[in-house]
C-alpha cells in the first residue's frame, strides 16, 4: 500500500494547529497568501515551532510577492531569513530563484542551498513559471533539493495532471514531487491515481466571520485593493481530515 505525505499551507499559527490536529505530516508556514506566500515573521515562526509536536515545520523564504528574479540585496535578505529559521528550529525551508530568461538561477540557488545545509529544502512554485520544466527538474535535482512543489505549470494541480505525471516518471525517485494548488477533498484521489505522486500540498481553509460587532466597511486597509476585513480564511482540522481521508480511502479501495 502506498504511503502518502500531506503538507498543509498554513497562513498562521492557528492554521498550523488545525493542520496538526487534522493529521497533516507537515506544514508550510507562509505570510502574504494573496501574493502567493512570503516569509512569515520571527514571532509567527517561533510560536509555530512551540505548538507543533507531530507535524514538521517548513517555512517559506520569499522576501516579496511578484516574480522570482531576485536582486543581490534580496538574496542577502533570504540568507538572513534562512539563518533565523534555522535558529528557531524549523525542519525545512522553501524557496526558488529564476533568471530573467526563466531558467533556474543556479548561482543564487547554490548560495541558498549552502546556507540551508542540514534542513530539508523544497523548491517552490517558481518551478511553475520556469521556461523548460524538464531541464529545470534536472537542475533542481543536481542542486540537492528534496522536493519540488508544483501544479504542473497550470492554474491548479488537477489541470496539471499530464505534466505532473510526466515529471514524476522523469524524476524516477531522485526527487519528490509535491502536487499543490487547488488540491482538495474532491480531487486529491484523481490526482494521486493519475500521476502516481504521493505527496500533496493543500490549504484546507474556510472563511471564519469576524467577531467584531461594530464594523466600518467603507474603509479598506488595502486602499484601492478591497479585501473583506471582517472575515478570516483559516485552515480547519475538519477539511484537513476530509482531504486525507479521501486520499487514504481511495487507495484502500484500489488495494482490495
For residue 249, what pLDDT is reported? Answer: 83
Cell numbers found for residue 155: 492554474
Give the predicted TM-score (pTM) of the model: 0.93
**What is the percentage of the chain residues whose pLDDT exceeds 70?**
95
Which pLDDT band holds residue 229 (cuts at 50, 70, 90)?
A: confident
Is 54:26 a contact under the CB 8 Å cutoff?
A: no
The model's pLDDT over 105-145, given as tens digits with 9 standing for 90+, comes to 999 999 999 999 999 999 999 999 999 999 999 999 999 99
Stretch 15-37: mean pLDDT: 96
pLDDT, average across residues 52-58: 97
- Collect all residues with Cβ–Cβ distance below 8 Å to 234 and sequence separation of at least 6: 11, 12, 14, 15, 18, 205, 206, 208
Residue 221: band (very low, low, confident or very high) from pLDDT cuts 50, 70, 90: confident
Measured distance CA(98)–CA(80) in Å, rounded = 19
Average pLDDT value over all residues in the chain: 94
C-alpha cell read off for 112:
541558498
Confidence of residue 224 (pLDDT cuts 50, 70, 90): low
Tell me the average pLDDT across 19-27: 98
Q: Give tens-digit pLDDT for 168-213.
A: 999 999 999 999 999 999 999 999 999 999 999 999 999 999 999 9
165 Cα distance to chain centroid:
19
Please give the domain boundaries of the chain with CATH numbers for all domains. 5-255 (3.20.20.380)
Question: What does the alpha-carbon distance between residue 75 and residue 68 come to, in Å, rounded to a whole number?
Answer: 11
Contact between 168 and 200 (Cβ < 8 Å): no
Say if residue 80 is exposed, middle or buried (CB neighbours under 10 Å; 0-12, 13-18, 19+): middle
Residue 251, pLDDT score: 62
Query: Strand, helix or coil at 151?
Result: coil
Contact at 8 Å (CB) between 12 and 34? no
Residue 226 has pLDDT above 80, yes or no: no
Least confident stretch, 47-61, 155-169, 227-241:
227-241
Average pLDDT of span 139-157:
98
The two most distant CA atoms of the chain are separated, in Å, by 57
| Mean pLDDT, rounded, for 19-47 | 96
State yes or no: pLDDT of 1 exceeds 50: no
Spatial distance between the Cα atoms of 18 and 11, rounded to a whole number of angstroms: 11
Distance CA 178, CA 197 (A): 7
Amino acid at each position: 500500500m502506498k504511503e502518502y505525505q500531506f503538507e498543509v499551507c498554513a497562513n498562521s499559527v492557528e492554521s498550523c494547529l488545525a493542520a496538526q490536529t487534522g493529521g497533516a505530516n507537515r506544514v508550510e508556514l507562509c505570510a502574504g497568501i494573496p501574493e502567493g506566500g512570503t516569509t512569515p515573521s520571527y514571532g509567527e515562526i517561533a510560536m509555530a515551532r512551540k505548538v507543533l509536536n507531530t507535524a514538521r515545520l517548513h517555512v517559506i523564504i520569499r522576501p516579496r510577492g511578484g516574480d522570482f528574479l531576485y536582486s543581490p540585496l534580496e538574496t542577502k535578505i533570504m540568507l538572513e531569513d534562512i539563518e533565523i529559521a534555522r535558529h528557531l528550529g524549523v525542519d525545512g525551508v522553501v524557496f526558488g530563484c529564476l533568471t530573467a530568461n526563466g531558467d533556474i538561477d543556479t548561482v543564487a540557488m547554490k548560495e541558498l542551498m549552502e546556507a540551508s545545509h542540514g534542513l530539508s529544502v523544497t523548491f517552490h512554485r517558481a518551478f511553475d513559471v520556469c521556461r523548460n520544466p524538464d531541464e529545470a527538474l534536472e537542475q533542481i535535482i543536481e542542486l540537492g533539493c528534496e522536493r519540488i512543489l508544483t501544479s504542473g505549470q497550470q492554474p491548479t494541480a488537477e489541470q496539471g495532471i499530464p505534466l505532473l505525471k510526466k515529471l514524476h516518471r522523469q524524476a524516477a525517485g531522485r526527487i519528490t514531487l509535491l502536487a499543490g494548488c487547488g488540491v482538495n477533498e474532491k480531487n486529491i484521489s484523481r490526482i494521486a491515481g493519475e500521476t502516481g505522486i504521493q505527496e500533496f500540498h493543500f490549504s484546507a481553509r474556510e472563511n471564519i466571520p469576524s467577531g467584531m460587532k461594530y464594523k466600518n466597511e467603507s474603509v479598506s486597509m488595502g486602499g484601492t485593493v478591497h479585501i473583506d476585513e471582517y472575515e478570516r480564511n483559516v485552515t480547519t482540522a475538519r477539511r484537513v481530515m476530509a482531504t486525507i481521508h479521501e486520499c487514504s480511502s481511495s487507495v484502500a479501495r484500489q488495494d482490495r
